[in-house]
Amino acid sequence: MKLGIDIGGTKTAAVVLDPHDKVIAHETTRSGSGPDAVLAAAVRIARRAIAEASLDDEEARSLSVGACMPGLVDGATGTVLHAANLRVDRLELGPLLGAELGLPVSVENDVKAAGLGAREALCARSSRYADLGLGYLNLGTGLAAAVVVDGEVVRGPRGAAGEIGHLPVGTGVPCSCGQTGCLETIASGSALARLWPVPTPRPDPFVAAAAGDRRAAAALHTLSDGIATAVQVLVFAAGVDLVVAGGGLTSLGEPLAEAVRDRLRERARRAPVLAALDLPDRFELLVTAIPLAALGAAELGGRARPTSAAGRLS
Ligand SMILES: [Zn+2]
């Protein structure tokens, strides 16, 4: 049995998977703000998911636990740094959550966990995905990616692998990270909000563009072009076979995926080297009922060396 906890910017989710990786419990709550509240919400939702799963004593004692959240994660110590949107500068998530639950806890960055979760979700569909190098694009307020090769997340120095949102690509737009022209400034939810500023609740930009809104159409062209570049970066630099996208922007659905494929087709018409790679066929949206990061955290807990001593489930 595996427990996965996904601490997101607004919601914290917990899932329990049975030995066949079937989801037998799924609970969500509002995320806390600040280290103490973030931890308290994670503990509360983990206990609720464990209760919902109706585990017997033996199952509860042998439960493996993985947790993920935004920020810079040291997997060896379970420490998370600089999760600004949760108002967390530093949190010893692994040891503290482990002490509360009485179980060892593995910790990973949320986008990297989602990459692992994406691989699990794809492999549940078909075994043909197991051998593919996978790129996971998180199209949220910002842009980040994870690379999964041979079933393992590529981390790089201090987890830098996959931080393609802050690759300067010459957009000329100042980025929140301090650089100018980052890919995130054209390929993210915040980019779309800047390129097409409309009052909330924001209407569907594809519907607006189809109705003749030229600014919406131009924004979508820029957005899809930026995402196409992200796909190209992951295939060229990380050598992945397939790129799947998750995150809030994927609520735009297949029109977004098709717009990205259109940009890739346009590039392939000009560049034979791209045409040979079939890039449009290597990109898809991955929309699942269970958060990918929670699935990935559960998988991580089941396979990684945990960061705190095991004890009794409290
Ligand atoms: Zn940046």
CATH number at residue 17: 3.30.420.40
Q: Domain residues for 88?
A: 2-110+291-303
Question: What six digits make up the tokens of 45?
Answer: 């939702």
Same domain (yes/no): 192, 84:
no
Asked if ipTM goes beyond 0.90, one says yes
Query: Which pLDDT value is given to residue 158?
Result: 85
Q: What is the 3-state secondary structure (H, E, C) of the chain?
A: CEEEEEECCCEEEEEEECCCCCEEEEEEEECCCCHHHHHHHHHHHHHHHHHHHCCCHHHHHCCEEEEEECCEEECCCCEEEEEHHHCEEEECHHHHHHHHHCCCEEEEEHHHHHHHHHHHHHHHHCHHHCCCCEEEEEECCCEEEEEEECCEECCCHHHCCCCHHHCECCCCCECCCCCECEHHHCCCHHHHHHHCCCCCCCCCHHHHHHCCCHHHHHHHHHHHHHHHHHHHHHHHHHCCCEEEEECHHHHHCHHHHHHHHHHHHHHHHHCHHHHCCCHHHHEEECCCCCCHHHHHHHHHHHHCCCCCCCCCCC
Same domain (yes/no): 146, 56:
no
- The answer to the question of residue 311 being in a domain is no
Q: How many domains does the chain have?
A: 2
Q: Going edge to edge, which strands form the sheet with 79-83?
A: 72-74, 79-83, 88-91
- The answer to the question of residue 309 being in a domain is no
| Residue keyed to tokens 């040979």 | 276
Q: 53: number of CA atoms within 13 Å, CB side?
A: 28
CA distance 93 to 81: 10
Type of residue at 149? V
- The answer to the question of residue 225 being in a domain is yes
Same domain (yes/no): 130, 275:
yes
CA distance 115 to 129: 13
CA distance 275 to 294: 36
Same domain (yes/no): 31, 178:
no
| Residue keyed to tokens 């000329």 | 172
Residue 309 CA, ligand 1 centroid: distance in Å: 38
Residue 284 CA, ligand 1 centroid: distance in Å: 25
Is 47:39 a contact under the CB 8 Å cutoff? Answer: no
Query: Which pLDDT value is given to residue 303?
Result: 81
- The answer to the question of residue 310 being in a domain is no
Same domain (yes/no): 153, 98:
no
Q: Which residues lie closer than 8 Å to 229 by C-beta, 6 or more apart?
A: 169, 183, 187
Same domain (yes/no): 11, 25:
yes
Residue 130 CA, ligand 1 centroid: distance in Å: 32
Residue 312 CA, ligand 1 centroid: distance in Å: 44
Residue 50 CA, ligand 1 centroid: distance in Å: 39
Residue 56 CA, ligand 1 centroid: distance in Å: 48
Same domain (yes/no): 121, 264:
yes
CA nearest neighbour of 295 among 100, 115, 80 = 115
Same domain (yes/no): 76, 209:
no
Is 49:3 a contact under the CB 8 Å cutoff? Answer: yes
- The answer to the question of residue 229 being in a domain is yes
Residue 248 CA, ligand 1 centroid: distance in Å: 19
Same domain (yes/no): 104, 117:
no
Same domain (yes/no): 156, 178:
yes
Query: Which pLDDT value is given to residue 302?
Result: 84
- The answer to the question of residue 41 being in a domain is yes
Same domain (yes/no): 142, 239:
yes
Residue 109 CA, ligand 1 centroid: distance in Å: 18
Residue 198 CA, ligand 1 centroid: distance in Å: 24
- The answer to the question of residue 159 being in a domain is yes
- The answer to the question of residue 55 being in a domain is yes
Residue 245 CA, ligand 1 centroid: distance in Å: 20
Residue 253 CA, ligand 1 centroid: distance in Å: 26
pLDDT (tens place) for every residue of the chain, 314 residues total: 999 999 998 899 999 999 999 999 999 999 999 999 999 999 999 999 999 999 988 898 899 999 999 999 999 999 999 998 899 999 999 999 999 999 999 999 999 999 999 999 999 999 999 999 999 999 999 999 999 999 999 999 888 999 999 999 999 999 988 999 999 999 999 999 999 999 999 999 999 999 999 999 999 999 999 999 999 999 999 999 999 999 999 999 999 999 999 999 999 999 999 999 999 999 999 988 888 999 999 999 888 655 444 433 33
Residue 242 CA, ligand 1 centroid: distance in Å: 25
240 exposed, middle or buried (CB, 10 Å; 0-12, 13-18, 19+)? buried
Residue 142 CA, ligand 1 centroid: distance in Å: 9
Same domain (yes/no): 130, 193:
yes
Is 100:112 a contact under the CB 8 Å cutoff? Answer: no
Query: Which pLDDT value is given to residue 308?
Result: 47
Residue 184 CA, ligand 1 centroid: distance in Å: 6
